[in-house]
Structure 1
Amino acid sequence: MNLSSMLAARAAGGRPVRVGLIGAGKFGSMILAQARHIEGLHVVAVADLDPGKARGAFERVHWPVEQYTAASADDALASGRTWITDDAAELMGCGEIECIIEATGHPLAGTRHALAAIAAGKHVVMVNVEADVMVGALLAEKARKAGVVYSMAYGDQPAAMCELVDWVRACGFELVAAGKGMNFCPGYRYSTPDTVWDYFDFTPEQVAAGDFNPKMYNSFTDGTKAAIEMAAVANATGLDCPKDGLAFPPAGLQDLAEVFKPASEGGRLEKAGIVDIAASRERDGRVVLNNIQYGMFVTFKAPNDYTRQCFNQYGLMTDKSGWYGSMWRPFHLIGLETAMSVLSACLRGEPTGESRIFRADAVATSKGHFQAGEFLDGEGGFKVWAKAIPASESVALNALPIGLAHHVKLKRSLETDQVVSLDDVDIVDDLDIHALREDQRRLLSA
Structure 2
Amino acid sequence: MILNHVSRTRGPLRVALTGANGGYGRTFLAQLALTPEIRPAVLVDPDVAGVRRMLDELGVPADRVAESTDPATTARLVEQDHIALVASADALDWTGIDVLVEACGRVPAGFGYAAAALDHGTHVVMVSKEVDTVVGVELGARAVAKGLSYLPGDGDQPANLLRLVDWVSAVGLDIVALGKSGEYDLELDPATGRVTQAGVTVEAPALLDLLELGDDVAGTLARRADAVRGLKRAAAADSCEMAVVATRTGASADVEAMHYPVARIAELADIYSARADGGILEHDGVVDVFSALRLPGEASFAGGVFAVVRTGDPATWELLRGKGHVISKDGQYACIYWPYHYMGVETPLTVHAAVDRVPAPPARPTMLLAARAIEDLAVGAVLRAEGHHHEIAGVAPVMLDPAEGVSPYYLLDGARLAKPVARGALIGLDDVEGVDEPALDAYLAGAARTTETNGDDR
Q: Decide: shared fold, TM above 0.5.
A: yes
Letter of the 2:23 counterpart: K
Matched, 1:16 2:12: yes
Q: 1:416 to 1:374 in 2, by over 3 A?
A: same
Partner of residue 445 from structure 2, selected from 439, 442, 446:
439
Counterparts of 2:322 and 2:130 in 1: how far apart (Å)?
A: 42
Matched, 1:358 2:365: yes
**How far is the alpha carbon of 1:376 from its aligned partner?**
1.7
Alignment of 1:402-441 (within 5 A): 402-425=409-432, 427-441=433-447
CA deviation vs aligned residue, 1:230-289 (integer Å, no higher than 9, x gap): 01101112211224331111211101111112222211122111100012369xxx99x8
Partner of residue 375 from structure 1, selected from 371, 375, 382:
382
CA deviation vs aligned residue, 1:88-144 (integer Å, no higher than 9, x gap): 3554x3332110111100112111211111111111000110010112122111101
Counterparts of 2:76 and 2:142 in 1: how far apart (Å)?
A: 32
Letter of the 1:67 counterpart: R
SS in 1 for 2:383: strand
Counterparts of 1:6 and 1:230 in 2: how far apart (Å)?
A: 33
Alignment of 1:252-271 (within 5 A): 252-271=264-283
Contact 1:279 1:293 in 2 (8 A): no
Counterparts of 1:366 and 1:154 in 2: how far apart (Å)?
A: 32
Aligned to 1:31: 28
Q: Higher helix fraction: Structure 1 or Structure 2?
A: 1
**How far is the alpha carbon of 1:70 from its aligned partner?**
7.0
Letter of the 2:400 counterpart: P
CA deviation vs aligned residue, 1:220-239 (integer Å, no higher than 9, x gap): 96510011000110111221
**How far is the alpha carbon of 1:290 from its aligned partner?**
6.4
Counterparts of 1:5 and 1:296 in 2: how far apart (Å)?
A: 26
Q: 1:76 to 1:428 in 2, by over 3 A?
A: closer
CA deviation vs aligned residue, 1:371-401 (integer Å, no higher than 9, x gap): 2222222353562444242333xx15x3221
Contact 1:230 1:388 in 2 (8 A): no
How well do the aligned residues superpose, as a CA RMSD in angstroms?
Answer: 3.0
Letter of the 2:114 counterpart: A
Counterparts of 1:342 and 1:165 in 2: how far apart (Å)?
A: 20
Aligned residue pairs, count: 401
SS in 2 for 1:80: coil
SS in 2 for 1:233: helix
Counterparts of 2:117 and 2:249 in 1: how far apart (Å)?
A: 24
Counterparts of 1:36 and 1:79 in 2: how far apart (Å)?
A: 18
Contact 2:25 2:344 in 1 (8 A): yes
Contact 2:156 2:343 in 1 (8 A): yes
Letter of the 1:201 counterpart: G
CA deviation vs aligned residue, 1:135-183 (integer Å, no higher than 9, x gap): 2122111101100100101000111100111111001110111101015
Counterparts of 2:233 and 2:324 in 1: how far apart (Å)?
A: 34
Aligned to 1:277: 289
Partner of residue 333 from structure 1, selected from 342, 352, 360:
342
Q: 1:252 to 1:18 in 2, by over 3 A?
A: same
SS in 1 for 2:379: coil
Letter of the 1:85 counterpart: V
Aligned to 1:297: 306
Q: Which runs of 5+ in 1 are unaligned?
A: 186-197, 203-219
Alignment of 1:111-190 (within 5 A): 111-182=111-182
Q: 1:417 to 1:279 in 2, by over 3 A?
A: farther
**How far is the alpha carbon of 1:8 from its aligned partner?**
2.3
SS in 1 for 2:301: coil
**How far is the alpha carbon of 1:332 from its aligned partner?**
0.8
Contact 2:8 2:35 in 1 (8 A): no
Q: 1:412 to 1:280 in 2, by over 3 A?
A: farther
Counterparts of 2:25 and 2:379 in 1: how far apart (Å)?
A: 38
Counterparts of 2:80 and 2:112 in 1: how far apart (Å)?
A: 30
Counterparts of 1:57 and 1:445 in 2: how far apart (Å)?
A: 43
Q: 1:63 to 1:368 in 2, by over 3 A?
A: farther
Q: Which runs of 5+ in 2 are unaligned?
A: 186-195, 201-231, 453-458
Letter of the 2:401 counterpart: A
CA deviation vs aligned residue, 1:325-382 (integer Å, no higher than 9, x gap): 1111111111121111111112x2126x654311222212324332222222235356
Q: 1:391 to 1:355 in 2, by over 3 A?
A: farther
**Rg comparison, structure with higher value:** 2
Percent of residue pairs identical: 26
Contact 1:22 1:88 in 2 (8 A): no
Letter of the 1:40 counterpart: E
49-58 vs 167-176, which moves further: 49-58
SS in 1 for 2:259: coil
**How far is the alpha carbon of 1:316 from its aligned partner?**
2.1
Q: 1:4 to 1:414 in 2, by over 3 A?
A: farther
**How far is the alpha carbon of 1:301 from its aligned partner?**
0.8
Aligned to 2:399: 389
**What TM-score do you get using the length of structure 1 for normalisation?**
0.81
Contact 1:242 1:390 in 2 (8 A): no
Aligned to 2:65: 68
Contact 2:15 2:39 in 1 (8 A): yes
Matched, 1:349 2:357: yes
Q: 1:138 to 1:78 in 2, by over 3 A?
A: closer
Matched, 1:49 2:57: no
Contact 1:258 1:324 in 2 (8 A): yes
408-417 vs 234-243, which moves further: 408-417
**How far is the alpha carbon of 1:429 from its aligned partner?**
4.7
Counterparts of 2:324 and 2:302 in 1: how far apart (Å)?
A: 23
Aligned to 1:207: none
